[in-house]
Amino acid sequence: MSRLKTFTNGFIKENPAFVLLLGLCPLLGVTTSAINGLGMGLATTFVLIMSNIVVSLVKDFIPAKVRIPSFIVIIATFVTLVGLVMEAYVPALYESLGLFIPLIVVNCLVLGRAEAFASKNSTLDSIIDGSGMGLGFTFALTLLGSVREILGSGSFFGMKFIEGDGMLVFVLSPGAFLAMGYLVVLINKINKKTA
């Protein structure tokens, strides 16, 4: 597989959220606004890229019996780093994302890419894969957050453009499922047309 294909797979063909349906907990939990989606996506992307780099570098030194626990320790290190940096420099976003930042450690996307890709490929290929999947996940979170924010509160990235309130259901949990369902259908239609 070419490196360009590896990078672009995460956007539409193998989008972690809309096609593979990985990482749905933060996807549905924090996407009440576009800024929350973008912040969570970028945090996950950083952890994904950095953990892929380290896993690809140390894969030959980790015994098979402790491979998964080792990957979790590597991922947890970068999640802790992201959490501390966000708390120091963007405390409002950190507060808004809350518990979902530490939950990146158990995100199926991050551990899955470490196990399925980074542990079997070169460092450069692992960086490309982590970037593509991470940015695809960021795209999904930001898109879902944008749809929910526009329909739910009549604003975009916090800038109000519709007087009054929007449709309250999109700010609540059921709105996440509704918007997600429609976006999955849309992405599947795009995939069928390009196949």
**24-58: per-residue pLDDT in tens?**
888 888 888 999 999 999 999 999 999 999 999 99
Average pLDDT, stretch 125-151? Answer: 93
* Cβ–Cβ < 8 Å for 165, 154: yes
Contact indicator for 159, 35 with CB cutoff of 8 Å: no
Judged by DSSP in three states, 161 sits in coil
Q: Is the pLDDT of residue 138 over 90?
A: yes
Identity at 69, one-letter amino acid code: P
Read off the DSSP letter of residue 90: -
* CB 86 within 8 Å of CB 100: no
The residues, ordered by sequence, that sit 6+ positions from 185 with a Cβ below 8 Å of its Cβ are none
Q: Which residues contact 175 (CB under 8 A, 6 or more apart)?
A: 148, 151, 152, 167, 169
Check whether 97 has a pLDDT greater than 70: yes
pLDDT of residue 190: 85
HSE value, Cβ hemisphere, 13 Å, CA-based, for 73? 7
Q: What is the pLDDT of residues 118-130, one digit of tens each?
A: 999 999 999 999 9
Identify the band that residue 1 occupies on the pLDDT scale cut at 50, 70 and 90.
Answer: low
Domain region containing 23: 3-194
Task: State the pLDDT confidence band at 192, using cuts at 50, 70 and 90.
Answer: confident
Residue 79, pLDDT above cutoff 90: yes
Q: Which residue has the higher pLDDT, 31 or 7?
A: 31
Predicted confidence (pLDDT) at residue 166 exceeds the cutoff of 80: no
- 122: its two tokens: 């070169």
How many domains, in total, are found in the chain? 1
Is residue 117 predicted with pLDDT exceeding 70? Answer: yes
User: Residue 160, SS3?
Assistant: strand
Give strand pairing partners of 155.
160
Please report, rounded to a whole number, the percentage of residues in the chain having pLDDT higher than 70: 99
* pLDDT over 90 at 131, yes or no: yes
